[in-house]
Amino acid sequence: MTKSKAKGVIGILTGGGDVPGLNPAIRAVTVRAIREGYRVVGLRRGWGGIIDVVQDEKFDNKANFIELTTQVVDRAARTGGTFLHSSRTRPSSVALDRIPAHHADSYIDELNDMTPTVISNLEWIGIDYLIAIGGDDTLSYAVRLFKEGINVNAIPKTMDNDVPGTDYCIGFSTCITRTINMTNNLRTSAGSHERFMVLEVFGRYAGYTAMLPTMAGAAHRCIIPEHPFNVEQLTELMVQDRMENPSNYAIVLVSEGATFEGGDMHFSDMEKDAYGHAKLGGIGDQVSRKLKELSPEFNNGNMINTINQKLGYLVRCGDPDAIDSIVPMAYGTMALDLILRGIHGRLVVLKNGRYDHVPIEVVTSTKKYVNVEKHYDTQRLHPFYRDFEMLPLFIMASE
């Protein structure tokens, strides 16, 4: 594909789950880049659109990439999700049944590394610089491309806030805001019927989305992936919370990746995505059943019924809140600044309340979890309220 006479062409993509704040980040990159004399190309469906490109000028590739203009991104920036769409495609490990038809003769293994095709397609489109927005799965492949010589910078995004190296990932604030709001709305039903309420929230490996709303007072207890929990202990605490509550109810937030002592994660099915992750789901159902079953033991022989709700996509849909409108703007602007300065292989971050950037390799070199000893009271199954001095906005930083 022939390049224009612009200073260069910047490609931008969004991968993994959708979150509010992606479109403001795309807008920030695009508007500034165009003013600086660059072209911007939106790569559709994350890494998926790149592997599907057909290198033929006569072929209509609009399903795989589009030229971005100020008018396009201005209209999209006020909305949630990503107008570039997304996928969980992993080009370094593409299943045989996912190989594009025009590459069927080139890739014949059960799992195929299509990185040579990705690099070739980026060159054919004319991409000089690449900005990848995603979680650790999406960004781990950005690390691979950087090592292959592609000029890549990255922006962290995930509801779970678990991308290493940064205190904040796009989407987290809206998730927390929605979780608090929905919990407060649902508590009227819990109180009306004097029940336990079990809310399953996002968090495969990290419990931030359960911790922060609980710390803010939305729930009495929270269960997180970092600490396998004793369900008898939880039941006793919940019965006590219910007795002390004038409205006679108690609420627990359960991370989707939480586990019983001696148990494993609960999966909705055994189908796995391209990164090897089976779809989680069901721990909330299990906790709800056990609380009801065990409640008579701690409630004078009387069973306590439950309200069981999985918040799921309700906290990741819709428009971004204020933080997820401002931070993506700053992240996008920073990513563009790095390109202007000739700096590549960086992850833009927030550290201790200040914007910065770190080597992109941090995404694959470490993991980000809740520091249980510092932030989680395993006896109370509740966050600690102590030692907040000099901590960042959302308390639990990237260590």
Overall average pLDDT of the 71-94 stretch: 93
Is it the case that residue 27 has pLDDT exceeding 60? Answer: yes
A 10 A CB-CB count for 240 gives: 14
Q: What is the pTM of this model?
A: 0.93
* Same fold across 9-170+318-365 and 173-315+372-383: yes
**Strand duo 306-310 + 196-201: pairing:** parallel
Residue 263's pLDDT is what? Answer: 74
Is it the case that residue 101 has pLDDT exceeding 80? Answer: yes
What pLDDT digit, counting tens, does each position of 235-254 carry? 999 999 999 999 999 999 99
Q: CA separation (Å) from 211 to 151, 228, 268?
A: 37, 15, 23
The verdict on whether 160 is a catalytic residue reads yes
Confidence of residue 352 (pLDDT cuts 50, 70, 90): confident
Domains of the chain, residue spans: 9-170+318-365, 173-315+372-383
Residue 270's pLDDT is what? Answer: 57
User: From CA 221, how far away is CA 233, in angstroms rounded?
Assistant: 11
Is it the case that residue 39 has pLDDT exceeding 70? Answer: yes
> From the candidates 52, 128, 137, 160, which is the catalytic residue?
160
Residue 2's pLDDT is what? Answer: 46
Q: Which CATH number describes the domain made up of 173-315+372-383?
A: 3.40.50.460
The CATH number for 9-170+318-365, chosen from 3.10.105.10, 3.10.290.10, 3.40.50.450, 3.40.50.920, is 3.40.50.450
Question: Could you write out the DSSP letters of every residue in 40-86?
Answer: EEEETTTHHHHHT----TTS--TTTEEE--HHHHHHHTTSSS-TT--
Residue 279's pLDDT is what? Answer: 57
Overall average pLDDT of the 297-326 stretch: 96
What pLDDT digit, counting tens, does each position of 158-179 carry? 999 999 999 999 999 999 999 9
